[in-house]
């Protein structure tokens, strides 16, 4: 099913986190494989940009249909490789198809402007950039790739995608599906290789016009530095440490019952995780009681079991990192269940009370560990919510609409929900303030991030 491993060549083992078994062996790729993929993408670009817009849109719709038809198969592969509950995986693959449909609809709506000037006509064109390099993380493997692929291809670019080597399998399948759906050879090239070799080469390659990256702030910083050498465009979707602010005048029970899913979804391996649960002091006891009931009832286990709500962590190494946030003297207030091994299990854990200065409140844990931080009043809520290097998502829970909007305006974050934990929709912009990133994905403007503006002046005077 996957690229053949030739005898004697080095291999990479892809592990199933729920069982610790080897799911697939892949050949280890090198910088020369990236160079070959970039050359293919570069060669395919002139013909792809010449495809009539309606035809390009039709191809992307066909690809969306193919993904939708294969949802069950792709979701099972994603669930096994990333260790995520099968229901969530189906939702993610559903969003992949939805994303391609949305940007297929944008192909014929990507327009320039005409601008009044003296002596002629001035017009702008949105030109494709050429070859786009994409580097994606392991937590939402195919769907995060789709957020980049769909607008980039819709805007007539060609692509080299380097998925995370912990979870490359759905991207490899997707490349085949795209060819079957009729995408011309070379338009989409998947290079399942390591970040330090293949990712690095993609960022340095002189024929790559832009890097669209999702991953950690640390690696993102390195990518921005390396991209500077060739003045590459970059968009970066990075880490987060988002606040879930619950006022005492909210429906506290509802907020508490929703809170676990805002941080323990995907085993907490979610850039949008609202891992700082800030609760107004008079509501803390009521909140913790409902939170305990909800967390202790969470079913943690086999990702392929339909009733599972939380699977394992991605790797043994990552579990060790997560565990370092729960030392023996940590204020563990709530601990859910987790199966015995094999599998990289970690129970959903709530620390309370936590100060915003504690390590568990400052660093992205990227695991099922939440910190409850008590606060007093609106001003302190804003100060604490903004006291972080990140600014990706967040929620505010209150029945006071004006207060909700004051908070929404005051919190430095790219995405905020009121009385909800919703973060991501195909049709609305997503991305971060501060060290959570540069640029926005999804929504009506994402295609523009995969274009250059060209200004043309046509003199009309005799
Ligand atoms: P990561 O360690 O930064 O890796 C992300 C990608 O970068 C992987 O494909 C990785 O390759 C590659 N990479 C590593 N070193 C590289 C280098 N020197 N040059 C080029 N590429 C390199 O992130 P992760 O551990 O996969 O994912 C977790 C992080 O992603 C978290 O911080 C999370 O917040 C963030 N995230 C952000 C968003 C968002 O939209 N804002 C969404 C999801 C996740 P290999 O791993 O294959 O070696
Ligand atoms: Mg990492």
Answer whether 161's CB lies under 8 Å from 203's CB: no
Return the ligand 1 atom nearest residue 193 CA: 47
| Ligand 1 neighbourhood includes 343 CB (under 6 angstroms) | no
**Nearest ligand to the CA atom of 161:** 1
**Cβ-Cβ contacts under 8 Å for 244 (sequence gap 6 or more):** 255, 259, 262, 263, 274, 276, 277, 278, 394, 395, 397, 421
Q: Which ligand is nearest to the CA of 438?
A: 1
The answer to whether the beta carbons of residues 386 and 364 sit under 8 Å apart is: no
User: What is the distance between the alpha carbons of residues 355 and 378, in angstroms, rounded to a whole number?
Assistant: 17
- Taking each continuous run of H as one helix and of E as one strand, the counts in the chain are 14, 18
Rounded distance from Cα 216 to ligand 2 centre (Å): 6
Selection from 312, 291, 299 nearest residue 244 by Cα: 291
Considering every ligand atom, which ligand is closest to the CA of 133? 1
- Ligand 1 site-directed mutation target among 137, 144, 146, 274, most atoms within 8 Å of CB: 137
Is residue 342 classed as helix, strand or coil in its secondary structure? coil
- Closest approach atom of ligand 1 to CA 237: 41
Residues recognised as catalytic: 237, 271
Q: Residue 126 forms beta bridges with which residues?
A: 453
Mean predicted confidence (pLDDT) in 66-83: 98
Domains within the chain, CATH numbers bracketed: 11-238+437-457 (3.40.605.10), 243-425 (3.40.309.10)
Q: Is 271 in the pocket of ligand 1 (CB under 6 A)?
A: yes
Is residue 7 scored above 70 in pLDDT?
A: no
Pocket test of ligand 1: the residue of 219, 313, 436 to mutate, having most ligand atoms within 8 Å of its CB, is: 219
pLDDT in tens, 88-144: 999 999 999 999 999 999 999 999 999 999 999 999 999 999 999 999 999 999 999
- Ligand 2 center from residue 59 Cα (angstroms): 34
CB atoms inside a 10 Å sphere around CB 2:
16
Q: Is the bond preceding 342 in cis, omega lying within 30 degrees of 0? A: yes
200 lines ligand 1 (CB under 6 A): yes
Cβ-Cβ contacts under 8 Å for 73 (sequence gap 6 or more): none
Q: Residue 1: pLDDT above 60? A: no
**Distance between Cα 217 and ligand 1 center (Å):** 8
Closest CA to 279 of 347, 351, 329: 351
Phi and psi, residue 111, nearest 5°: -125, 160
Q: Where are the beta strands (DSSP E) in 156-305?
A: 158-162, 188-190, 210-214, 233-237, 243-246, 276-280
20: Cα within 13 Å, side-chain hemisphere: 9
Beta-carbon count within 10 A of 92 CB? 23
Residue whose CA lies nearest to ligand 1 atom number 16: 195
* Angstrom distances, CA of residue 343 to CA of 46, 80, 232, 304, 370: 47, 12, 40, 13, 22
**Residue 165, pLDDT score:** 98
| Inter-residue contact 247 to 283 (CB < 8 Å) | yes
- Is the pLDDT at 22 greater than 90, yes or no? yes
How many other CB atoms sit within 10 Å of the CB of residue 233? Answer: 17
- Are the C-beta atoms of 416 and 405 separated by less than 8 Å? no
Q: Is the pLDDT of residue 3 over 80?
A: no
| β strands within 157-216, DSSP E | 158-162, 188-190, 210-214
- What local confidence, expressed as pLDDT, does residue 9 receive? 79
CB neighbour class for 368 (10 Å; exposed up to 12, middle 13-18, buried from 19): buried
Instruction: Encode pLDDT of 396-455 as tens digits.
Output: 999 999 999 999 999 999 999 999 999 999 999 999 999 999 999 999 999 999 999 999
Pick the closest to residue 334 from 308, 353, 321 (CA basis): 353
Q: Give distance in angstroms: CA of 215 to centre of ligand 2.
A: 7
Ligand 1 atom with the shortest distance to the CA of 218? 3
DSSP run (H or E) holding 47: helix 31-50
* Span from the CA of 140 to the centroid of ligand 2 (angstroms): 13
**pLDDT score of 6 more than 80:** no
pLDDT digits (tens, 9 = 90+) for 129-186: 999 999 999 999 999 999 999 999 999 999 999 999 999 999 999 999 999 999 999 9
Which pLDDT score, from 0 to 100, does residue 341 have?
Answer: 85
Per-residue pLDDT of 291-321, as tens digits, reads 999 999 999 999 999 999 999 999 999 999 9
pLDDT digits (tens, 9 = 90+) for 329-376: 999 999 999 999 899 999 999 999 999 999 999 999 999 999 999 999
Pocket lining: 14 vs ligand 1, CB cutoff 6 Å: no
| Atom of ligand 1 minimally distant from the CA of 200 | 19
What are 197's two structure tokens?
């070799």
The confidence band for 246, taking pLDDT boundaries of 50, 70 and 90, is very high
With a cut of 90, say whether residue 5 has pLDDT above it: no
Would you say the CB of residue 192 lies under 6 angstroms from ligand 1? no
Are the CB atoms for 368 and 349 separated by under 8 Å?
yes
- Residue 153 to residue 205: CA distance in whole angstroms: 20
Question: How far away, in angstroms, is 318 Cα from ligand 2 center?
Answer: 8
CB 18 within 8 A of CB 302: yes
Mean pLDDT of 208-236: 98
- Three-class SS of residue 50? helix
Is residue 284 scored above 60 in pLDDT?
A: yes
Taking the centre of ligand 2 as the mean of its atom positions, its distance from the CA of residue 371, in whole angstroms, is 22
Do β-strands 394-397 and 243-246 pair in parallel, antiparallel, or remain unpaired? Answer: parallel
Ligand 1 neighbourhood includes 137 CB (under 6 angstroms): yes
Q: Please report the atom of ligand 1 found closest to the CA of residue 140.
A: 43
């Amino acid at each position: 099913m996957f690229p053949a491993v030739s005898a004697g060549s080095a291999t990479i083992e892809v592990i199933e986190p729920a069982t610790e078994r080897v799911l697939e062996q892949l050949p280890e790729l090198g910088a020369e494989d990236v160079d070959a993929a970039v050359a293919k993408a570069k060669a395919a670009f002139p013909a792809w940009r010449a495809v009539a817009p309606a035809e390009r849109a039709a191809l992307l719709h066909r690809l969306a249909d193919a993904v939708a038809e294969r949802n069950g198969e792709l979701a099972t592969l994603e669930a096994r490789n990333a260790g995520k509950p099968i229901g969530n995986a189906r939702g993610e693959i559903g969003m992949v198809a939805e994303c391609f449909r949305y940007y297929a609809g944008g192909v014929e709506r990507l327009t320039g402007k005409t601008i009044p000037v003296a002596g002629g006509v001035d017009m702008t064109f949105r030109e494709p950039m050429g070859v786009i390099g994409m580097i994606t993380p392991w937590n939402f493997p195919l769907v995060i790739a789709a957020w980049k692929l769909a607008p980039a291809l819709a805007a007539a670019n060609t692509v080299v995608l380097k998925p995370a080597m912990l979870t490359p399998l759905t991207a490899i399948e997707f490349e085949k599906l795209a060819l079957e759906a009729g995408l011309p050879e070379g338009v989409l090239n998947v290079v399942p290789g390591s970040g330090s070799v293949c990712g690095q080469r993609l960022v340095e390659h002189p024929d790559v016009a832009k890097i669209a990256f999702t991953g950690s702030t640390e690696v993102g910083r390195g990518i921005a530095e390396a991209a500077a050498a060739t003045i590459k465009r970059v968009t970066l979707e990075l880490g987060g440490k988002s606040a879930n602010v619950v006022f005492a005048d909210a429906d506290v029970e509802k907020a508490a019952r929703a809170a676990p899913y805002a941080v323990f979804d995907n085993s907490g391996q979610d850039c949008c995780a609202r891992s700082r649960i800030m609760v107004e002091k008079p509501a803390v006891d009521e909140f913790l009681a409902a939170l305990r009931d909800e967390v202790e009832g969470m079913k943690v286990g086999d990702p392929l079991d339909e009733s599972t709500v939380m699977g394992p962590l991605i790797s043994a190494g990552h579990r060790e990192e997560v565990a370092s946030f729960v030392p023996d003297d940590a204020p563990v207030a709530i601990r859910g269940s987790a199966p015995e091994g094999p599998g990289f299990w970690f129970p959903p854990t709530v620390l309370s009370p936590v100060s915003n200065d504690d390590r568990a409140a400052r660093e992205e844990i990227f695991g099922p560990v939440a910190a409850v931080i008590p606060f007093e009043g609106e001003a302190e809520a804003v100060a604490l919510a903004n006291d972080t290097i990140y600014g990706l998502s967040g929620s505010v829970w209150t029945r006071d609409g004006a207060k909700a909007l004051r908070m929404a305006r005051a919190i430095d974050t790219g995405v905020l929900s009121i009385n909800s934990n919703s973060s991501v929709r195909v049709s609305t912009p997503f991305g971060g303030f501060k060290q959570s990133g540069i640029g926005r994905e999804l929504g009506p403007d994402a295609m523009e991030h995969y274009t250059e503006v060209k200004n043309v002046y046509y003199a009309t005077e005799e």
